[in-house]
Amino acid sequence: MTDPVIRLRALTKLFDRKAEAELRRTADRHARAALLEAHRADLALRDVDLDVRRGQIQVVMGLSGSGKSTLVRHINRLIEPSSGTVEVDGQDMLALSPGALLEFRRKRISMVFQRFSLLPHRTVLDNVAYGLKAAGVARRERLDKAHVWIERVGLRGEERRFPAQLSGGMQQRVGLARALATDTDILLMDEAFSALDPLIRRDMQTLLMGLQSELGRTIVFITHDLDEALRLGSRIAILKDGQLVQEGAGQEIVLSPADDYVAAFVADVDRGRVLTVGDLAVPAREEPAQLRIESRVSLRDAARMMVENEASRADIVSPEGNRMGQAELRGIVAALTLPGRM
């Protein structure tokens, strides 16, 4: 596993200036804990540790007020932490001078917001090129790049239109193109698709996954929607009242929720769609089974195959055909039907 690109340690944010100043003066952990408890109403994040690895989509999710947007804004220092550390590729973000921070935002990181944040008096072309202009890219080069990304997000022919002339989905495509055009290796997406209708939202998810498979950017994606998190996320972090309660692959969270809060999130998940038979494979203790199922097959399809072949167990094989282990029909049925923690 590669080293994390983004490393958050003990990240804490208090939205109370006096309490925040007191927190920064307090070294004793017991006094610190008491202070945070006393100001819980103003506590947005509490001792969050999170690693984001290169080339992954790290989803951060939780209910409204859980601290999701506050967390992502610490990465590019739109919000200053009350305590804790933020590192990007080993660089202490809190140590950057204003000039160095501005350079970092121009060259290393870009952001897509929920409400599009387009410049209403500029055309699609100028909106997409805006980040490149801020980075000092020459006019001809930035317009050429903007044209490329406008086409990549499916907006060819719309270059001269203004945001008010576009649908919500088209506006969000402009926002995505603007973020990608700057060629930064880190992309922050704060509820980027939440304002869209369900069908358009799914189209945008598909577009993002297609671009990500090609570009391999490091993405921190904020959402309150579990289906979106499971579809997009390489890893999912779940926040509750500013604290990180569980982080892991989507399959881990669905199969083994850390507490009742996470269990409630995943209770209505269609496990047959989310989980694959490879997620349930255990080391083989018996002779090879007659039936072989590829690890990426969904649980629902695997159960159907086993019933059709009158098989109580099957060998689970990798895409290359190598034996990975075995799965039993009763275990698959249990995973499909049992609610809550397993």
| pLDDT by 10-residue block (mean), the chain, 342 residues | 87 92 86 89 93 95 92 95 94 94 90 82 93 87 93 92 91 90 92 85 89 91 91 93 94 89 86 84 83 91 92 91 90 76 44
Contact present, 159 and 127 (Cβ < 8 Å)? no
Give residue 341's pLDDT.
Answer: 44
The residue type of 300 is R
Residue at 160 is within a domain: no
| Pair (238, 295) in one structural domain | no
Of the candidates 181, 157, 183, the residue with the CA atom closest to the CA atom of residue 170: 157
Give residue 335's pLDDT.
Answer: 83
Give residue 275's pLDDT.
Answer: 85
| Pair (319, 191) in one structural domain | no
Q: What is the CA radius of gyration of the chain?
A: 23
Residue at 148 is within a domain: no
Contact present, 235 and 36 (Cβ < 8 Å)? no
| Pair (229, 242) in one structural domain | yes
Supply 144's token pair.
């050429």
Supply 37's token pair.
């408890």
Supply 282's token pair.
């255990």
Q: Which of 269, 293, 318 is the last residue of a domain?
A: 269
| Pair (209, 298) in one structural domain | no
> Distance between CA atoms of 228 and 118, rounded to whole angstroms?
24
Give residue 91's pLDDT.
Answer: 93
Give residue 107's pLDDT.
Answer: 87
Domain span including residue 291: 272-337
> Distance between CA atoms of 250 and 276, rounded to whole angstroms?
11
Residue at 139 is within a domain: no
| Pair (22, 36) in one structural domain | yes
Model confidence, pTM: 0.84
Residue at 141 is within a domain: no
> Distance between CA atoms of 230 and 59, rounded to whole angstroms?
9
Supply 30's token pair.
């017991």
Number of compact structural domains in the chain: 2
Give residue 338's pLDDT.
Answer: 63
The 243-248 sheet, strands edge to edge:
109-112, 186-190, 218-223, 57-61, 235-240, 243-248
- Rounded to the nearest 10°, the torsion over CA 121, 178, 158, 126 is 40
